[in-house]
């Protein structure tokens, strides 16, 4: 009998949460049920998802920034189909594939001066791990510095530069000499750099967890200090790169000239996993320093044809549709709409971000009665208020958002860069309605909290 994917899906639609509870991450499947995210999506296009009943959802998560071009972009899809039809020889390995060369060339053109050598891998963590190996090979030094709140992936090496204790717990000891420094503390950074044993300082110019943005002078001065102490300055652009913040790289907001840049997520156009680590030729060649070391760092699926084709198509669409400029202008409108809500709702402490990477941070309400509800919720689980808002946005407005990190009262928005005025209006109106409910003690938003508190306390 011929295998039909469509038939297989048709037969088993609706089994997915049970399958995940049985064979995959049961805890995650349970959390999705608790917060009302256990939907059966059947279609995705642009900024929207549809469920089996035909309901439409606005996706402000973008698969954690994988869908900068929106879902199912026709150009990327066509290029992938073209690629499959060509039956090109993929992953020969003992050759130098053309498409990898073309994508490397296209990426180098978009980099700050001097970054002219590329390594392709499959995920963000892969790209950062490669950056760490480049830095050690090039400097001969052991140590690495990273920032509080940093997130660079969850493999053991990237966990070693993770600034969130919740992620590290249970996996220690991590890499010795990989140490945290505080954002905006230049004196502290210089103290760590001074002994001359630090290979790299790794930063997300705009942090993914919480959307924390350093004070204006911090990153340029940190880069200068790194240069002065022979430490490589690494910008992890896995989430904030590729136009998300209104620039091709978020480091361009400060005209930085990093020694190494990492990219991933939307580089595959929302279809194919791919990542790139881009550095100076001199650094690159320190890793592949002799002919017999030409494969000292590699990964089986790096440079695969599908990923390279998707990457080329993605860069083309970013330019053709001027999505980077669009992220800047639409992002400003969205931030302005949310900032106007901040004037009306005391519970919004801050609206911050750049382009379409935006955080809304909450603080305890002013009214005593509401404050008691907030305190009870926070005592059960930190960041629960933000979770309630996320749940209400989904339940009442069919909008997908996320809490901006473990234990924080921050909602993070990462819409596709293709959204327009309509989506901005819908989003601002939905936040308005949910916060109006959340700032009334009998508001429907608080109705969700009992259930969440019960689950939090039973853990």
Ligand X SMILES: Cc1ncc(COP(=O)(O)O)c(C=O)c1O
| Smallest gap from residue 197 Cβ to ligand X (A) | 24
State the residue number with the nearest CB to ligand X.
124
In the bound state with ligand X, the residue whose beta carbon lies nearer, of 123 and 251, is 123
Where would I find the H helices in 13-66?
16-23, 26-34, 62-65
Where are the strands (E) in 232-347, listed by range? 232-236, 260-263, 275-279
250 binds ligand X (CB under 6 A): no
CB of 373 to ligand X, least distance (A): 32
Binding window for ligand X (CB under 6 A); candidates: 39-47, 75-83, 231-239, 296-304: 231-239
Strand-strand pairing, 410-413 and 357-362: antiparallel
CA distance 338 to 321: 26
- 236 vs 361, beta carbon nearer ligand X: 236
Single residue of 125, 390, 391, 438 touching ligand X by CB under 6 A: 125
Contact 268/71 with Cβ under 8 angstroms?
no
Q: Binding to ligand X by residue 243, rule CB under 6 A?
A: no
Least distance to ligand X from the beta carbon of 64, Å? Answer: 5
CB of 224 to ligand X, least distance (A): 23
Residue 261, classed as helix, strand or coil, is strand
Task: Classify the C-alpha dihedral 330-332-338-340 as positive or negative.
Answer: negative
x/- map, 261-280, ligand X, by CB under 6 A: ---x----------------
Shortest distance, position 107 Cβ to ligand X, whole Å? 17
CA-nearest of 346, 345, 334 to 412 is: 334
Shortest Å, Cβ 322 to ligand X: 25
**Which of 264, 439 has the CB closer to ligand X?**
264
Sites for ligand X among residues 150-189 (CB under 6 A): 151-153
Q: Minimum distance between the CB of residue 142 and ligand X, rounded to whole angstroms? A: 22
> Which token pair is 199?
């290979």
SS3 state at 146: strand
Q: Does 139 bind ligand X (CB under 6 A)?
A: no
- Compute the least distance from the CB of residue 155 to ligand X, in Å: 7
Q: Is position 124 an interface residue for ligand X (rule: CB under 6 A)?
A: yes
Min dist. Cβ of residue 156 to ligand X (A): 12
Is 238 an interacting residue with respect to ligand X (CB under 6 A)? yes
Q: Is 129 in the site for ligand X (CB under 6 A)?
A: no
Name the residue with tokens 């480049």.
134
Retrieve residue 294's tokens.
């030409």
User: Least distance from C-beta 53 to ligand X, angstroms?
Assistant: 31
- Beta carbon of residue 398, minimum distance to ligand X (angstroms, whole number): 24
Among 239, 279, 387, 449, binds ligand X (CB under 6 A): 239
Q: Which is nearer to ligand X, 208 or 353 (CB)?
A: 208
Give the per-residue SS3 of 118-129. EEEECCHHHHHH
Helices (H), 57-183: 62-65, 74-86, 98-109, 124-139, 156-159, 165-168
Binding residues among 2-41 for ligand X as defined by CB under 6 A: none
Q: Please tell me whether residue 241 binds ligand X under the rule CB under 6 A.
A: no
Tokens of 169: 């717990």
Select from 46, 208, 268, 270 the one that contacts ligand X (CB under 6 A).
Answer: 208
CA angle 431, 436, 438 (to 5 degrees): 90
Exposed e or buried b per residue across 420-448, where buried means at least 16 C-beta atoms within 10 angstroms of its C-beta: eeebbebbbebbbbbbebbbeeebebbeb
CB 373 within 8 Å of CB 446: yes
Q: Does 204 bind ligand X (CB under 6 A)?
A: yes
- Pairing state of beta strands 399-400 and 56-59? parallel
- Which one of residues 17, 64, 167, 301 is an interface residue with ligand X (CB under 6 A)? 64
- Say whether residue 47 binds ligand X (CB under 6 A): no
Residue 153 or 270 having the CB closest to ligand X: 153
d(CA 289, CA 322): 40
Which conformational region is residue 54 in: left (phi greater than 0), alpha (psi within -120 to 50 degrees), or beta? left
Place of tokens 């001969």: 140
Integer angstrom CA distances of residue 47 from 68, 168, 209, 417: 9, 33, 22, 9
State which of residues 49, 128, 308, 347 lies at the interface with ligand X (CB under 6 A).
128
Stretch that binds ligand X, among 30-38, 120-128, 356-364, 382-390 (CB under 6 A): 120-128
- How many residues at the interface with ligand X, by CB under 6 A? 14
**Footprint of ligand X on 281-310 (CB under 6 A):** none
Give the residue with the Cβ less far from ligand X, 66 or 287: 66
Contact 419, 330 (CB under 8 A): yes
In whole angstroms, the minimum distance from the beta carbon of 370 to ligand X comes to 33
- Can you give the binding site for ligand X, defined by CB under 6 A? 64, 123-125, 128, 151-153, 204, 208, 236, 238-239, 264
């Amino acid at each position: 009998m011929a295998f039909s994917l469509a038939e297989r899906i048709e037969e088993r639609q609706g089994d997915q949460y049970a399958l995940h509870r049985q064979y995959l991450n049961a805890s995650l499947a349970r959390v999705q049920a608790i917060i009302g995210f256990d939907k059966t999506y059947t279609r995705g296009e642009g900024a929207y998802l549809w469920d089996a009943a035909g309901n439409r959802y606005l996706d402000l998560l973008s698969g954690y920034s994988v869908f900068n071009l929106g879902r199912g972009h026709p150009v990327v899809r066509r290029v992938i189909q073209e690629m499959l039809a060509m039956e090109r020889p993929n992953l020969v390995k003992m050759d130098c594939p053309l498409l990898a060369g073309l994508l490397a060339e296209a990426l180098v053109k978009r980099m700050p001066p001097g970054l002219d050598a590329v390594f392709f891998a499959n995920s963000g963590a892969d790209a950062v791990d490669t950056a760490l190996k480049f830095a050690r090979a090039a400097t001969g030094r052991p140590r690495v510095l990273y920032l509080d709140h940093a997130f660079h992936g969850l493999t053991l090496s990237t966990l070693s530069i993770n600034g969130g204790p919740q992620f590290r717990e249970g996996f220690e000891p991590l890499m010795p000499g990989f140490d945290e420094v505080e954002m905006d503390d230049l004196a502290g950074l210089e103290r760590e750099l001074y002994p001359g044993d630090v290979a790299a300082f790794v930063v997300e110019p705009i942090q993914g967890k919480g959307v924390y943005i350093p004070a204006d002078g911090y990153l340029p001065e940190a880069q200068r200090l790194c240069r002065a102490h022979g430490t490589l300055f690494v910008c992890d652009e896995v989430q904030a790169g590729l136009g998300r913040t209104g620039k091709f790289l978020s480091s361009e907001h400060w005209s930085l000239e990093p020694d190494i840049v990492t990219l991933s997520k939307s580089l595959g156009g929302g279809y194919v996993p791919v990542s790139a680590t881009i550095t100076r030729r001199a650094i690159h060649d320190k890793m592949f320093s002799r002919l017999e070391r030409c494969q000292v760092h590699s990964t089986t699926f790096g440079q695969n044809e599908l990923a390279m084709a998707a990457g080329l198509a993605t860069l083309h669409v970013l330019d053709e549709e001027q999505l980077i400029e669009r992220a800047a202008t639409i992002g400003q409108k969205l931030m302005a709409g949310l900032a106007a809500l901040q004037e009306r709702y005391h519970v919004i402490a801050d609206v911050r971000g750049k382009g379409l990477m935006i955080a809304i941070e909450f603080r305890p309400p002013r009214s005593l009665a509401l404050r008691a509800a907030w305190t009870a919720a926070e005592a059960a689980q930190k960041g629960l208020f933000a979770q309630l808002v996320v749940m209400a946005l989904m339940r009442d407005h069919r909008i997908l958002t996320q809490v901006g990190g473990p234990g924080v009262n921050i909602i993070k928005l990462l819409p596709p860069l293709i959204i327009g005025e309509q989506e901005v209006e819908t989003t601002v109106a939905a936040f308005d309605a949910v916060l109006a409910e959340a700032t009334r003690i009998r508001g429907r938003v608080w109705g969700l909290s009992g259930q969440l508190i019960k689950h939090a306390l039973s853990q």
